[in-house]
Structures are given as C-alpha cells and as structure tokens.
Chains A and B, each alone.
Chain A
Amino acid sequence: MRDEIILKAEKILLQRGGVTVLDIPELAVRRGGILALIGPNGAGKSTLLLMLAGLLHPQRGRIYFQQNPVESRADFHTLRRQVSVVFQEPLLLNSAVFENVALGLKFRGLSRDAVKERVRQALDYFGIRHLEQRSAGTLSGGEAKRVSLARAFAILPKVILLDEAFNALDPPSREGIIQDLQKTLEETKTTAVLALHDREETLRLAQEVCVLHDGKILQAGPTAEIFHHPASEFVAQFVGTETILPGVIQHCVNGNVTVVVNGRRIEAVGEGGIGQKVYCCLRPENVTISRSETAKTSARNSFEARVVDVIRQGYVNKLVLDCGFPLVAYITLSSCEDLDIAPNAVVLASFKATAVHLLRRLD
C-alpha cells in the first residue's frame, strides 16, 4: 500500500507561444507521501501543480489519478473533487471565515450539520476556531493563510497541492503554519505535493524532491539523496551546497580521492579516474572553523583561510573564506564571538573527506 501511486503525470508537454513550459516524461506521487517540487521562479512548478490538480489541460500527455487516466470533462471534475489546491495568495472570499471554509463542502451539497462539523474540524487543525465568525477581510496574512489551508483540508482531499504556501509570511507565523501543516498531514494521512523554493522548508517537509528547471525535471528522488548527491551543478547550487569547486582528480586509491583545486589538494570519498574533471560540493554546515591546529581530528582536509566576509543569516553567521579557493561555512553566533572572527582574520577551516560530494563535470 505504501508504494501505491495515487497521482501520476506521464509524457506531459505544454507549450505557450512556442516556448516549452513543461516537458515531464513522468512524475509519480506516492499515496501518503510528501513530494516537493523545487526550482527557481519560472521553472514550471506552479504550472505542474495546476496540471496535477486538473485545472490545466496538457497539450500532450496524460494525468492518471489512482491508476485511471483523466481524459473526459467528467474525469477532470472527479479529479478536482479529490484534490485541493492552496495558492500562494489566500484567495478568500469577502465573507466570514466559516463561509470560506465551508465553500468546498457546499459545492458538494453536504447537509448543514455535516458542513458545520467538518468546518470546525478543519479550523481546529490550524488553531483558528476562534476566527470562525470573523470577516475574511479583517484577517492578518498568517490568519488568512491558515483559513485557506483549513478550507483546502475541509473537503478531506486525497491529495493536497500547495503552491509556495509559505511565501510572504513573517518568520514566526511561517514556523507555526509549517508545524500545523506537518501535524495535519500526519493526522489526516493526506498526500501532499508542495511547490517550494526554500531549501530548509524542503528539508523539513518533503520525503521526496523533484527539482525542476525550465519545465524539465533535473533530478527526482528521496530528499536526502537530492541534498547529498545532487546530480548536477544546478541542483547542487539550488539545494544550497554553497561551495562548488572545479578540480581534477589526481589520485584515487580505495575510494579515497584526492582532487586538486587551484593547486590545493582536497581529499574526498568516491570513485574516479585520474585526470577526471569534477566538482567538489561542500555544504556550509559541514565546515569546521578553528583558531589553531592543536588537536588531531578525523577531518582529512584542513586549510588556512582568510575571512573575507561575515554575513548574518538568522541564527547563524555565514563566513565567506578564502583558502586558495572560495569556501563558505556556517557557524553559530556564539562560536563567532568565542573565536573572535572578523573580516581578515586568519582561521583554520577543516572538513571531512566524507563531507565532500564529487560531481563529474563534462567541460
């Protein structure tokens, strides 16, 4: 049951004015799974979501819902009744919160009592029962978002599609909404497809990731795999592997690879022929900063680095380092203080060979 495909797009092609907007050979959504579509703006995430929701018809290709092809007008209507979309904007009607959440239920002709019960339940999922009688026009951005989520969950959809659902929210309400959404998805066992462009949200919410660019799937797979083994430079950059260094394999013994980058030698784990051109990808949280070389560590790579810049990013500082090649590291604010790190300070940057992810490059 776990691996049953609930929604599938096959050989989808959509062109607008001669430009290919979407070209998807296959995309499958597992029942109960949470799939994130990630990619830059204009990658086709929203368009793909609309297509999965049955709101946009592909020029070529087909959508399958629970193994049945969606073809006729009636099929599309059935699909629309089984899935619900939450758009980037809350898109609430100019009436009370209750009316808004009840909208989908009223379309289904449910009895008054059943509507009331389901609305209350949906409001409870997102902790907004107290807003029931409020006019939608008077809600804050976060409250409106909660109402639109409750509205989508009220119809008990088989699949919920969220388009950039957490944009334009201040960090505290975004955090609260993500938590409530996670809880609701777990409780209702609803399958979800999320269009996202934030790597942290992706890491937190998604079980599977599909990276889109220019309407094409660059890579799809379990979240960890995408983040740790990006298939291309683009994916690596997008999922936030900030350090991507071009180098050449100089040495390779027993899966222990030495790569020369700008004359410096970086040790990594992997396979590759000598002379193979590669990218060394390194996530900023895997870099350790110290002041002097005292203790012996298991980190195979240690470089003397000059601090170029210290950029505050929420609760961490992002250090831009120069160790003969550019390197980015995250350290906590307190470490930054303890080590007295400021621009132009000279520090030691180390990282384990296993933290280096090698990507073959063609050029």
Chain B
Amino acid sequence: MRGKGEDENKDYPRPFPLPSRVGKCLRCFVELIFQGIAKAFELIVHFNPEVMGITWLSLKVSGIATFISLLIGISLGVAIALNNFYGKKIVISLINTGMGLPPVVVGLFVTIFIWRSGPFGSLGILYTPTAMIIAQAIIATPIVMGISLAAIQNLHPNLRLQILSLGASRLQMVLVLIKEAKLPLLAAVMAGFGGVISEVGASIMVGGNIKGYSRVLTTATVMETSKGNFDIAIALGIILLMLAFVINFLLTQIQQRQRLR
C-alpha cells in the first residue's frame, strides 16, 4: 500500500504521510483548483473575448438592476420609514420577508408575466438581458428597501423635527436624513449588488443563458459545471468573486472614509 502510494507520488513532495486514497483524492482536488486558477489567469490575462463579454454583461445587468432597486428601494424605504399609516407593521414585515425572496420564485413569476401569452408577452423580452434586469431588480429592491427603512428608522426620531425646525422643506429634510444614514445605505447598495450578481436561478430562467447574448458569470458557471468543465467553471467562479470583491472594496472605501471624518 505504502510503496504503491509513494510510487504514484514520486513527482510530488509529500509533506506528511497520508493513506494513498486520500492522498490521491487530495492531489486531484488541488490539481483541479490549480488548473482552475491557471485557467482563470489565462482567460483574464489574454482577455478572452467570450469571458470578457460574459463578465461585462454580468456587471451591466446587475449594475442596472441594482441602480433601479436603489431608486425604488431607497425612496419607498424612506417614505415608509417617515410616514405613519395603518398597516405599517405588516408592510415592514412583508418587506423583510422580501429580503429573502427566493430567486427561482421571482424567475418563475417574471417568466409567467413575460411569457408570450402572458400579460406582458407582447413586449417580447423573454430570454433577453432586459428580462434579467427586471428579475434582478425585483430581487434586490426589497433588500435595499428593508435596509434603507431600518437605516432611517434608526436615526433619532427627533432628528427630522430638528431639521424641519431649522427651516428645511420636506425634500431638504429627506435629503439630509439620507446623507446622515449614508453608512447603512452604502451597506444596502452592497447587499443589493451582492445579492443579484451572485444570483443564478432567476437569470437562467428569464435570460435563458444564450451564448453571447444573455450568458452571465453565474449561468455560465452552472452550465460549465454540469458539462464537467470544472476548470472553466472555477475560472468563472474566481472572476465572479473578484468582481464582487472589487465592487465591495470600492464601496467599503467610500463608507469607511465617511466614517472617519
């Protein structure tokens, strides 16, 4: 047993003795990871046009979806936080539930709505990036809304009266409050973007993972994994992680800089 293992491993230094089967598996595993990293490196360094296209589309779709969700989520979240109305608690509970909306459910409903015979079928946007933006915006909006709402509610209740008493119009008051809640609102941007860039279920359902048209990093990863092309899948995964890291790093820089002031 031992001799055989050593035979097989003669090209590789073994830091500590392991039962051969485990060693073999570990070796395969490490090899796979390294191949993936090497592949990712190769794809990035050589600006592989297909991968670049997929990455760019991911960024574009998720970026626009996040932007839309910020417009809707922050304005509605702030409006709900600042107004008292009957059933407010139920609305907040619904939003908080929506923060964990399963992407596949969103995908399902968006598909039904834009299906050729559905209510918005005439738009003909099924299996397009537009459909993906819509689905992702629906996923991100409750996340952004929930965090914005909590952020504004977390400010001192007298703060808005104080701002109004200094002569602010309602709009000026809201803008000052948003500026004051900048830190958690940037967290909302990160959470929203993080939620949709990594989302696959809805994107594959409404986008269709069409090569060169609606294929994004996550859907491509799913496809390559199911084909057994682990190296490409890992490469795509690494690109996705790097993308998420870079975006969050930049946002964190803004967030923490504001804090230090």
Contact = CB atoms under 8 A, between A and B. Distances in A.
B167 interface: yes
Contacts of B154: none
A93 to B, nearest CB: 6
Contact of B156 (A77, A83, A84, A91): A91
B180 interface: yes
A152 B165 CA distance: 9
Interface residues on A, range: 20 to 34
A101 to B, nearest CB: 10
A88 to B, nearest CB: 8
B230 to A, nearest CB: 48
Given A85-B162, A93-B176, A94-B180, A107 B168 contact: yes
A53 interface: yes
A89 interface: yes
Nearest to A100: B166
A95 B180 CA distance: 9
Given A93-B176, A93-B180, A94-B180, A80 B156 contact: no
Given A89-B156, A91-B156, A93-B176, A80 B167 contact: yes
B66 to A, nearest CB: 25
Contacts of A93: 176, 179-180
A145 interface: no
Interface in B117-168: 156, 158-159, 161-168
Contacts of B164: 55, 80
A53 B165 contact: yes
Nearest to B162: A91
A107 B167 contact: yes
Interface of B: 156, 158-159, 161-169, 172, 176, 179-180, 261
Given A55-B164, A80-B165, A84-B165, 7 more contacts: A55-B165, A89-B156, A91-B162, A93-B179, A107-B167, A107-B168, A161-B165
Interface of A: 50, 53, 55, 77, 80-81, 83-85, 87, 89, 91, 93-96, 103-104, 107-108, 135, 151-152, 155, 161
